[in-house]
Amino acid sequence: MFDIGFLEILLVGVVALLVLGPERLPHAARTTGKWIGRARRMVRQVTDEIDRELKAEELREKLRQEGDTLGLEKIQGTVQSALDKAKDFDHFVEKDDSVGSVKDSPSAPSSTPANSLVGELSSSTDTANSISQASSQPSSARSSAEQVSSHRN
């Protein structure tokens, strides 16, 4: 940090002993040590905070880049077209207006593949929309990472 040699420290110690005297020198040395310790802690805290901010900004940038490389718009278009195709088979499902459930009929079983496909594709679209919003909004790195990781599970 400073380029102070042993002889310079010894010279400062001798001058302090002559100026302060043997009674006040230990107290002065203790006080000086406390101030130096506080200054070091403050510098370390500032350095750590700057490092954390740099890492957070790097993570945000990486999330933005990965969001761009995933082609979320393309994924959303594919999911939306699959949903539209699944809705074409909606006429195979008869709905009871009074109860809101599927009627049992010989032509339509109680749980059709079209119903399950529409449900799965709807949740996929919601997930893709959430990821797109997370990558486009400038939020904190931690919340973006949590949103992306929660959608992958």
Average pLDDT per run of 10 along the chain, which is 153 residues long? 81 91 91 95 97 94 78 80 85 65 48 56 60 52 51 51
What are 118's two structure tokens? Answer: 């529409």
Q: What is the pLDDT of residue 78?
A: 87
Residue 82: inside a domain: yes
Contacts of 20 (CB under 8 A, 6+ apart): 28
The alpha carbon torsion through 147, 134, 80, 101 (nearest 10 deg) reads 40
Residue 17: inside a domain: no
Query: Is pTM, for the whole model, over 0.75?
Result: no
Residue 15: inside a domain: no
Helix (H) or strand (E) holding 138: none
Residue 60: inside a domain: yes
Residue 66: inside a domain: yes
Residue 44: inside a domain: yes
Please state the domain count of the chain. Answer: 1
Give me the domain span that covers residue 106: 22-152
